[in-house]
Amino acid sequence: METDKTTLNDLSVFNHEDEFSVFDKLNLTRTTGGREKLRQIFNHSLSDIDSIKNVQDTLKLVIQKQEQWPLLVSNGTVMMIYKFYESSIDEPPSRPTPFSAYLYKLFHGPDFSLIKYSVGHAFDFIKGMKQLVSAFLNDKAPLNLKKALEKASVLIERHQFQIVYNHEKAEDLSNSEMLSFAYYIRYHYKQYFFELIDIYSQLDAWYGMAMAVNEFKLSFPVFNSSEEPELRAKQLYHILLKDPVAYDVKLNQSNNFIFLTGANMAGKSTFIKAVGSAVFLAHIGMGVPAQSLELSLFDGLLSNINVVDNISKGESFFYNEVQRVKNTIIKVNDKRKWLILIDELFKGTNVEDAMKCSTVVIEGLIKIKRSLFILSTHLYEISENLKGYPNIDFKYFETEVTGDKLIFNYQLKEGVSNDRLGYLILKKEKVIDLLNNL
């Protein structure tokens, strides 16, 4: 699924300044390498259902067998192995005897200590990889997991590693066995060890995703093979909210445009981001924050939420809004399936101009049947000109005013809201009082 950096920022997939991100929330990997592999997964959405289902099946298997995951392999384990290769030491004997091992320890004490400590971590790593291969590699394993483990299996099938499999822990090795093992992995196995760590990093990324699915009680979406765009979610919510309100959402080719209204702070932006982030997570094989989600495979996901001006280029806020809309129209006119998310069109111009521009854009976009759209606006007046289009679904978030109190229930309802509560919010936050006291 195609997307861009702007969309990933709009949906808080990655950090935007000091903002806590979806990636941060779901990163339950155990190693630095696993974290980087997970970042790569988040940066490259999948483009076919088989690949997505492959990742889903891998995560399900890891959840099912999580008790067999080798927790003895930690980030410290991997870091110490790297340090072992990066450190300068006097070469140990290639075929040490008890006597030569004793002499090396006597005359090269600091190097011996580093080797012994490093061998302990390398021992745990090799044993951990062996456990992973034994527990997860079989004919029924998902293809991507199977390929990774088959490669790992070849890399750890070395007769020099038999001492690892024959001993429970590294402390059981004699000094000569320990130095022999160290000599082999340092001078004959370095590149293979780096390959093995890379494989483990990928496995750790899947492990982190699986643990996040389990931890946050996410559900795996179901992709249909329909050639038409479709999205149907039950009890979908935004994963970054502490106490979220869930929504039911339904979009398809005959009802492909949600026209969303409501007052400031009523929940419009959160709803849009909840849908967008769930669709994004679905397309990397991840579980989603919903009771259920069924959708078609989308070719692309684009948002128009946090547009900014560009002082260095002399580009105004409105100009950049227009450019983003222009690029979106060019994209969705390619006959592919897109999900387009727009929050408050044309905030950078006056109300009358914004109404005219918004109406023109919406009436153009609703001609595109192969894509789904969610658009929020304060300009409820333009809804009257749009009610003749059968494929537009009018939704709103209700706000109640009791005295000076604003009550937001964040419930998505049918219809159009004409609430404008900006002045009440100013008054509630005592901005009016401050101004009157100037």
Whole-model pTM: value is 0.92
How many Å apart are CA 332 and CA 270, to the nearest integer?
Answer: 23
Which pairs count as long-range contacts for 380-389, CB under 8 Å and 24+ apart, including other chains?
Answer: 380/261, 380/416, 380/417, 380/418, 381/355, 382/355, 382/358, 383/259, 383/261, 383/416, 385/359, 386/259, 386/359, 386/362, 389/257, 389/363
> Is a pLDDT exceeding 50 seen at residue 208?
yes
Q: Identify the CA nearest to 138 among candidates 221, 220, 61.
A: 61
Q: 31-215, what's its fold? A: MutS, DNA mismatch repair protein; Chain A, domain 3 (1.10.1420)
State the CATH architecture for 222-436.
3-Layer(aba) Sandwich (3.40)
Quick one: 400 exposed, middle or buried, by C-beta within 10 A (0-12, 13-18, 19+)? exposed
Using CA atoms, how far residue 288 sits from 267, 305, 329, 342, 383, in Å, is 20, 21, 28, 21, 32
| Other residues' Cβ atoms within 10 Å of the Cβ of residue 310 | 12
> Is a pLDDT exceeding 70 seen at residue 380?
yes
Domain ranges of the chain: 31-215, 222-436
> Is a pLDDT exceeding 60 seen at residue 214?
yes
- CB-based contacts of 44: which residues, under 8 Å, 6+ apart? 284
- 222-436 and 31-215 share a CATH fold: no
| 11: phi then psi, degrees, rounded to nearest 5 | -90, 5
Give the pLDDT of residue 311. Answer: 41
Give the pLDDT of residue 312. Answer: 41
> Is a pLDDT exceeding 80 seen at residue 420?
no
Residue 30 identity: R
Mean predicted lDDT score pLDDT of the chain: 91
Q: What is the pLDDT of residues 269-298, one digit of tens each?
A: 999 999 999 999 999 999 999 999 999 999
User: Whole-angstrom distance between the N-terminal and C-terminal Cα of the chain?
Assistant: 54
How many Å apart are CA 25 and CA 178, to the nearest integer?
Answer: 41
Give the pLDDT of residue 16. Answer: 67
Quick one: 206 exposed, middle or buried, by C-beta within 10 A (0-12, 13-18, 19+)? buried
How large is the average pLDDT for residues 203-219? 98
Q: Residue 308 — pLDDT band, cuts 50, 70, 90?
A: low
- Which residues, listed in sequence order, are joined to residue 375 by a DSSP beta bridge? 259, 342
Q: Identify the CA nearest to 81 among candidates 32, 35, 36, 153.
A: 32
Length of the chain: 438
Q: Residue 313 — pLDDT band, cuts 50, 70, 90?
A: very low
**Tokens coding 336:** 């592919």
SS3 at position 361? helix
How many Å apart are CA 419 and CA 429, to the nearest integer?
Answer: 18
Give the pLDDT of residue 314. Answer: 42
> Is a pLDDT exceeding 90 seen at residue 121?
yes
CB–CB of 130/167 below 8 Å?
Answer: no
CA dihedral 382, 387, 392, 396 (to 10 degrees): 60
How many Å apart are CA 71 and CA 55, to the nearest integer?
Answer: 22
**Tokens coding 110:** 């600091």
- Which residues, listed in sequence order, are joined to residue 401 by a DSSP beta bridge? 406
Q: Identify the CA nearest to 25 among candidates 213, 203, 200.
A: 213
Q: What is the pLDDT of residues 236-273, one digit of tens each?
A: 999 999 999 999 999 999 999 999 998 777 789 999 99
Give the pLDDT of residue 171. Answer: 94
CB–CB of 210/63 below 8 Å?
Answer: yes
For helices 109-136 and 75-86, the axis angle rounded to 10 degrees is 130
How many Å apart are CA 146 and CA 55, to the nearest integer?
Answer: 12
Give the pLDDT of residue 306. Answer: 78
CA dihedral 170, 174, 179, 185 (to 10 degrees): -40
Higher-confidence position of 403 and 148 = 148
Q: Identify the CA nearest to 370 among candidates 386, 344, 391, 345.
A: 391
